[in-house]
Structures are given as C-alpha cells and as structure tokens.
Amino acid sequence: MDNKTEILLGSQKNINSVNVNNYNTIELTNNTAELTEFTVNDVISATKVFDTEREANQIYRIYGKIEYLSLLNGLINNYKVLSDFFNPVYTGNSKNIVNSFDFYLVRPAISGYTEIDGDVGYVRYFEVIATPDDFEIFPAGFSNNVYGEQSYAFSFKKDFDVSTYLDDFGFPATELFLYAQYNLKQNGYNVWETMKYTNWSNITGIASQSSFQSKSLNIGDFVETATGAKIGDLISYDKKEFTQTQLTPQTVYISTNLNGANQYLIWKYNPFIPFRLRYFSGELNSANSGNTSYDIINSIPDYATPLDNDGNYVWREISPQGYIDPLTGLGVDYPFMNKRRYLFSNIILSVSPDLNDGDTAIVFDEIYFSDNPISINETPITELDDIEKPCQ
C-alpha cells in the first residue's frame, strides 16, 4: 500500500508564510451524447483504399522480355559472302543483341519539338531518363523464340516517378520509350556497316535519310547523333481535341558491305519501342476558369490546354488504373505493391531487310530455301464422314 503523506500548511511552518493551494482543481462533468450509427459500425473498404493509393502513386518499375528477330544475330563482324547472313556462327566474336545495342529509357522532351509549316505536324524529340548503366539484359531461362533462338529478359535497376513528366504541349506522360541504339561493327580500317536515320523537312515534312554516328548519352540529353542532330518521330497535334497521334515512326537503316566490294544490303528497324503507362479517356472536357462555380474551376487539371485568352480550357481525364474502356478496349491494370506500379512488357526487336531498296530486294527475291525446290501440287484428301471411324 502507498504510504500516507501529510501536507503541512505554510502557516504552520513559519509565521510569515501563507497557505497556498498547489493543486489544480479538475471539474468532472458527465454530458449525455447521442451515439450515431456511423460511430457504431464504421466499415473500411480495403478495395477502395487500394484504388486510392494506386491512383495517387505514379512510380513505375519497368521490366520485360525481348524477342530479337534479325539476320544480323549470331553473325561474324564482317560479311564475305551472302550465306554469312544465313549461317549463324555462335562464337565469342559473333553478333548478338547484347553487343549490338545500347539500351536507354527515354521520354518525350519537355521542349524543342520542330513544327512543320503548313500544319503537317511536329517532329517529336526524346530526353534520356536512364542509361545502359541502369539497364540489365540477360538470357531468359527455358525460353526460345519461334526460330529456336535465345530470348532475353530485361529490367531497369531504378524506379521512375512520372508525375513531373510533361512534353512540349504540356501533356502528362502516357508513354515511355526503350531506345535501342545500334553499335556499328568495323574490322580494322574496313567499315563493314554504316547507318542512317530518318529526318523530316521543317518546311514540307518530306522524309529523307541522314548519316548517323551513334554517341554515348547521359541523363537529360536529347537522343541525338554524334554531330548533335536530334532524332525523333513525326506526330500530329490537335489542340482543340487535346490529342496527339504518331504519323510516322523513326526508322534507322543499317547498310552492310559484302567483303569490301561495292555490294550492300540495307536493313531497317524502329529504335523507339513504347511502354504504355496509361491512357487518356475518350471524353473531351472543357471549362472556363472565370466561371463562378468553385466545383467547375476546381475540376480543371494542371495539364489542361488553354484555347484562348478568355479562360477557356480543354483536357481529357487520365483513365484510372484497372479500368478498361468497354468501347475501345483501352486501359491498363498493372500490379501495384510496395508503392510501385510494375509494368511488364513483351518486346519484339526486329531488324528486317529493307525491300524498298532495289539491290536488297533483288538479292532476297533470288534466295531459294532448297537446292532443288519442288512444287507440291497434290491436294491432301480428307473425308469429313470418316472422322472418328476406325482406320482401314
């Protein structure tokens, strides 16, 4: 039990002392309050909490699988005869996806697009947000493509917060791009390969090809050549409809020389491979910032496009994660955990012959897949009535 303690009054200690109350008086009251139904039974929806957290989060972890389809795969670094392209020699000196490409992650640049006169469109450029140091690629276990060749898996070693990514038109990021930069192969002083990229005239929009020497890029750089020429694709932009559409993708051309002779084959591939983050909704929204309704003003997002100086804006809402538009079938539903959205992508990186080149078309038109090809003219005989009958 606690020991009892007596407090001696001040007047009993000293004639000049006064009695002082050193304790605070606490008033205890009991008021009657009604107990509401919400207080009695407060149901928390785990699904609603999950959706709220996922919509508020814009951090992505990107990984996936690459199918590399190319006659330049598994080849020696120089080509002496045409059969070198059809007889892979898988040695330490052979070409493959790992030693033939440097991979970057890029986004549409925040500025610098080239407008083409006559309302033809815009040349869109890209900014580097991850370098080959941030990229891992390795053979995928127990996985070959349809030609029996090794498939590869990849992942980025960093996460990407896209909440601050805007392009030249102020659109929030709906796509990122894997930029595959081809590495030319040379043999001493003999140049066995050269490369070109597609550019568009800022006056007519007509496409042409320019020489392309690759360079090492850093985060924040434009995707460009060694001479500083920016590389992009051609898009259209409709301000009133708040839409962007790719008109023509970028195409890179690889020219391969046969044994130093004046004979070349042309190959082509698309270096910008999209990763779909999300979609805009199909409904166009508009509002006036001078409207007296707080609800209307508050509904205008930061990325809305002003149409004029009178406060009129247009925009499209970003479709929520997990919603698939029943009319268009567009939508994404990426796994969300550990405060990240996990974006998995199956990629086909295809380097194909450019049959628009006359010499290349002639060579491939003359290729036979057998020394003595024989046409099979006999039609297989089948009888539907004999199905499920015993064999004779």
Residue ranges per domain, the chain? Answer: 46-279+319-365, 280-318
pLDDT at 144: 82
User: How many C-beta neighbours within 10 Å does residue 39 have?
Assistant: 9
Task: Measure the CA–CA gap between 7 and 123, rounded to whole angstroms.
Answer: 90
Place of tokens 């992505």: 60
Single out the residue of 280, 322, 283 nearest to residue 303, CA to CA. 280
pTM to 2 decimal places: 0.81
CA torsion through residues 239, 240, 246, 247, sign = negative
Q: In sequence order, what DSSP letters do the residues of 222-275 get, joined into one string?
A: BPB-TTS-B-EEEEEEETTTTEEEEEE---EEEEEEBTTSS-EEEEEE--EEEE
- Asked whether 282 and 327 are in contact (CB, 8 A), the reply is yes
pLDDT in tens, the chain (392 residues): 567 777 777 777 776 777 777 677 777 778 877 766 665 566 778 888 888 899 999 999 999 999 999 988 888 777 888 888 888 877 777 888 998 999 999 999 999 999 998 778 999 999 999 999 999 999 998 888 777 788 999 999 999 999 999 999 999 999 999 999 999 876 554 567 899 999 999 888 899 999 999 999 999 999 999 999 999 999 999 999 999 999 999 999 999 887 777 788 999 999 999 999 999 998 999 988 876 677 778 888 999 999 988 889 999 999 999 999 888 889 999 999 999 999 999 999 999 999 999 889 888 887 765 555 555 555 556 666 666 666 65
Single out the residue of 219, 246, 345, 256 nearest to residue 75, CA to CA. 256
- Asked whether 223 and 128 are in contact (CB, 8 A), the reply is yes
Indicate the SS3 state at residue 346: strand
Task: Measure the CA–CA gap between 270 and 370, rounded to whole angstroms.
Answer: 31
Q: Please give the distance of CA 126 from its chain centroid, rounded to a whole number.
A: 12
What does the buried/exposed string (b/e) look like for 353-386 if buried means 16 or more CB atoms within 10 Å of the residue's CB? Answer: bbeebeebeebeeeeeeeeeeeeeeeeeeeeeee
Residues whose CB is less than 8 angstroms from the CB of residue 183 and which lie 6 or more positions away in sequence, other chains included: 99, 100, 101, 102, 214
Pure H helices in the chain: 10-13, 37-40, 46-56, 97-100, 294-298, 358-365
Single out the residue of 162, 65, 47, 146 nearest to residue 107, CA to CA. 162
The DSSP code for 166 is B
Residues whose CB is less than 8 angstroms from the CB of residue 162 and which lie 6 or more positions away in sequence, other chains included: 58, 59, 60, 107, 172, 173, 176, 277
Task: Measure the CA–CA gap between 363 and 79, rounded to whole angstroms.
Answer: 15
- Asked whether 296 and 331 are in contact (CB, 8 A), the reply is no
Residues whose CB is less than 8 angstroms from the CB of residue 131 and which lie 6 or more positions away in sequence, other chains included: 104, 217, 218, 219
Task: Measure the CA–CA gap between 270 and 67, rounded to whole angstroms.
Answer: 14
Q: Where are the beta strands (DSSP E) in 23-161?
A: 59-70, 101-108, 114-116, 121-130, 135-144, 150-156, 160-161
pLDDT at 250: 97
